[in-house]
A and B are shown apart, each in its own frame.
Chain A
Amino acid sequence: MKNLSLFGVFIVTTALLASGCHRKPTSLTPIPGMEHQQGQNEGVGSGTAMPGEGGVTSTPANHGEGIAMSANGKFADLLNGPHNEDREKFKADTVYFDFDKSSVKASEEGKLQDVATYFKGNNSDALIVEGNCDERGTEKYNLALGERRALSVREYLANLGMDPQRIKTVSYGFSKPVETGHNEAAWKQNRRADLVLVTPK
């Protein structure tokens, strides 16, 4: 797992050096459904840890804007139509985030490895990733941050080989705290992405 992450950093660094930060890395296999926008997003946040980041961060290899979403297809029908939801299956894999950050921390990577492994063996299932924030942001800001967190989880799983169209993101900002206290003990529990297993009815 650690090797994978280091490998990712290596790829990113190499790509950045090769491109002078002006192009998306071309050595990576494009993910189906990814939106290519030439000449835009030059060098934005590519492959760098955010200033002040406490722990080690991993950066999805497809950095750019992210992975575009699709409203059509088998998994869109499943995710938007009738299905069963299991909130317990990945309860232990809830992904936690640093304050005001959306990158997947090294400590959370093993959880997502497990989740990706599950989906390799269960081809008809899908996933809802719910992004949440602590209360220390304004409401509209937190709504976008929660979505960014859910999308980071989606990207991480896509990099592990999961079809991103099997993953739906939804942000709740800070409207769904698991702890209601006004201290770090509560906040760290609330900065999270909940993973909900979706299976056909």
Chain B
Amino acid sequence: MKIRHEIILAGILALTFQAGAQDVIQITKQTSHLIPVSITGFSGEAESVLKFDLSVLGIEVSEPADYLISGKNEGRVEGSLTQAGVPRPIFLRAYAGGNTRSQAHAFANDIIKELRQSSPIFQTKIAFRVSRGGSTEICVSDFDGNNPVVLTHDNALVEAPSWFPGGHALLYTSWMTRNTVQIFEHNLATGARKLFAGYPGLNCSAEISPDGRKAAMILSKSGSPNLYVCDSDGGHLKQLTHTREEDSCPCWSSDSREICFVCRSGRAVLQKISADGGTPVPVHVSGVYGNLTAPDWSPDGSKIAFTIGSGNFSICVMPAGGGEAEKLVAGEDPCWAPNSRTIIFTQRRNDRRVLCLLDVPTKHVKDIRQLSGSCSEPSWAR
């Protein structure tokens, strides 16, 4: 899958190490601030990809630049990153394989590793729901909305795509069987799909645990929509909650041991429960009030993002253990990127829904490339 071929000149390598200590101080300071850079020498697709990617993590073309990014894209992408006022670059690399777009993404990944110390996300995939007229389908694309592939063609409602770890398959909720809401597993390599959960009543909102061993989902076969877990092949079903009011929106802790979900008790609140069962524990949230729905636990385990509101939605982030929540931006249904820094979410604009990226520390928001129709329920492969 790696398409990058690095050319590292011996002299540059030595200088990278030399410049290291000085950079760390400056980079730590800038984690939550926009970083002004200059980008020179690139053109067309390479330039636009580079600018978009860096902007997603709060690195913007602006004067005076703290870092200089220069290079060219003649045949292949070559580029360097240099701190302003420092004569030698932090790195200089050339990229081969793939195409101009993927080479530019690889270069942007290398810049992010240096300037944000965060794991690369520019060659990752997302899945989402696209609605056009009366039909809805599941779509997979690059993280920025490019290279979209529509996976389903069922002429039926479909919702809530979510990835298996490693990205080989998706689960989604489909109405393709008349008057029936079921969860299907869709293999991305072969296109083959199979029924994952088809119990009497509602089967929806399946999420595979980060270790790939379990699935959490909502079933109503007991007579109320409750939280269940099963093995990732659908076996060993176990009911975790027994409320009369509905439970919804499960998500997994990074260690695959707990599930955070929504329980309606007067209003929608967040609860956590062990994946082995037990008593649900309310998550204490301060600083915001209203219906709390659509939680997503960051892959590094430190934070939970969620949606607050009823109609006028906002994205909030709080410590995973609960506590003070910060309201960040208008939108709903957040999903963390593998870097635990970027969030993809849905924004309603008039009669349309669009997908946006949020850089949590800087609150910087960018639209991804939009398909026609409405796009919602983003899920980031991680």
Query: What residues of chain A have their CB less than 8 Å away from a CB belonging to chain B?
Result: 34-35, 37, 40-41, 44-46, 50-52, 63-71, 76, 79-80, 99-100, 102, 128, 135-141, 143-145, 147-148, 151, 155, 168-173, 175, 180
Contacts and interface: CB of A to CB of B under 8 A. Distances in A.
A40 B244 CA distance: 11
Nearest to B131: A175
B222 A45 contact: no
Contacts of A44: 242-244
Given A144-B248, A169-B201, 18 more contacts: A34-B223, A64-B244, A68-B222, A69-B200, A69-B220, A69-B222, A138-B307, A141-B262, A141-B294, A143-B205, A144-B205, A144-B225, A144-B262, A147-B225, A151-B220, A151-B225, A169-B220, A175-B157
Contacts of B333: 138-140
Nearest to B267: A100
Contacts of A65: 222-224, 226, 242-244
26 contacts: A45-B265, A65-B223, A65-B243, A65-B244, A66-B220, A66-B222, A69-B220, A79-B179, A100-B267, A136-B310, A138-B293, A139-B376, A139-B377, A140-B293, A140-B294, A141-B248, A143-B160, A143-B204, A144-B249, A147-B202, A147-B220, A148-B245, A151-B201, A170-B179, A170-B180, A175-B136
B69 to A, nearest CB: 38
B160 A45 contact: no
Nearest to B348: A135
Interface string B165-182: 000000001010001110
B75 interface: no
B247 A144 contact: yes
Interface residues of B, number: 50
Across the A-B interface, the 6 shortest Cβ-Cβ residue pairs = A66-B223, A69-B200, A144-B248, A136-B311, A144-B246, A148-B246
The residue in B222, B265, B294, B307 that gathers the most chain A C-beta atoms within 10 A of its C-beta is B222
B177 to A, nearest CB: 9
A135 B311 contact: yes
Contact of A41 (B205, B244, B376): B244
Nearest to B159: A139
Contacts, number: 155
Main secondary structure of the interface of A (DSSP, over half): loop
B245 A45 contact: yes
A137 B175 CA distance: 20
Interface string B137-165: 00000000000000000000101100000
B54 interface: no
B224 A66 contact: yes
Nearest to B239: A37
Nearest to B158: A175
A65 B313 CA distance: 30
Contacts of A63: 244
B242 A141 contact: no
Given A45-B244, A65-B223, A68-B221, A145 B249 contact: no
A69 B201 contact: yes
A66 B199 contact: no
Given A71-B199, A135-B311, A180-B351, A141 B249 contact: yes
A143 B199 contact: no
Contacts of B53: none
A168 B294 contact: no
A45 B226 CA distance: 14
B293 A151 contact: no
A138 B266 contact: no
B136 A137 contact: no
A138 B313 contact: yes
B291 to A, nearest CB: 7
A121 B215 CA distance: 44
B116 interface: no
B221 A145 contact: no
A155 B247 CA distance: 18
B136 A41 contact: no
